[in-house]
Copies of this chain bind each other. A is one copy, B any other.
């Protein structure tokens, strides 16, 4: 698909990713389709489970569109989970209420890694592509749709641990004790992520985002060995597919220069660095996405609006006085106990203040 002929090409979001002038700073929010919306909770209750919802294209489409019906967001993001790829590799994804994702068959020994293969996008992950196609058909043609995947390191974390972890001790021990096996694992995951993102793009997702949620738990040396090179390979491969890519990473502040040099169109930044510093350090090589602390949504609408203005001005000041190249977002995902009215205030403030 040549993006130039797509109605989204001139959208604020895609213009911002190309660092072109915009009438107002575009905004979307990580986990904008989620439990903070009563209509999401209703769909989920009817579906019976999170996974049922993610694996049923009509339901995934419905919840993807819900926040767009409420707020003038500048992008939709596919409703899915970052762990669909390892699930399709045979690890058996399941959820325990209140405990987060788990795998029935985590990788227990090096031999388990040898058996892994890139899953077939047309069968095991067909439901994702069907959801993308359906959402793209139902969504306003001028609103970009974002597809996504977990990063190789982040997927490896869950695949080795079998679920979430405070310390990621098993996966780090594997990296330390069996670096060759770890690289083999990251290699096959990277192949799968590239195929997965390319298939989402072909199905209609105009922008792609990689969530390196746990890269920031690595020391700089381990990040440079076990996360960054795989992100860079994904970026390089997707450039050929003409699909703009955003690399988001929680705790990636130390690595912004390296991420900006990766060739990605955008880098997602958490709230532990100012946008001023992030913009100054990346010197216009990429668009920057972020970076309001999600907890600011718990503040009063007036206090929240002030925080939004601070982020917008911080970016502009670090970017030589220009708002170009900024996609407003949170520094991480939303939470179930946030209030939709505060989201409305946030989106309104981004648009009205940046348009002045």
Contacts and interface: CB of A to CB of B under 8 A. Distances in A.
Interface stretch (A260-268, A299-307, A343-351): A299-307
B299 A173 contact: yes
A172 B219 contact: no
B167 A219 contact: no
A309 B110 CA distance: 27
Interface string A232-266: 00000000000000000001011000000000000
A220 B277 CA distance: 11
A177 interface: yes
Nearest to A171: B295
20 contacts: A167-B295, A167-B335, A169-B295, A169-B335, A170-B298, A172-B296, A173-B295, A176-B296, A176-B298, A176-B299, A218-B272, A218-B293, A219-B272, A220-B273, A220-B274, A220-B277, A221-B274, A221-B310, A251-B251, A253-B254
A22 B24 CA distance: 59
> In the complex, which of the residues A169, A221, A277, A337 has the most CB atoms of chain B within 10 Å of its own CB atom?
A169
Contact of A303 (B169, B177, B251, B274): B177
A36 interface: no
A94 interface: no
A168 interface: yes
B177 A219 contact: no
Nearest to A294: B167
Interface of A: 166-170, 172-173, 176-177, 216-222, 251, 253-254, 271-274, 277, 293-296, 298-300, 303-304, 307, 310, 335, 337
A293 B223 CA distance: 12
Contacts of A304: 176
A176 B307 contact: yes
A222 B295 CA distance: 12
A94 B264 CA distance: 48
Nearest to A306: B176
Contacts of A170: 298
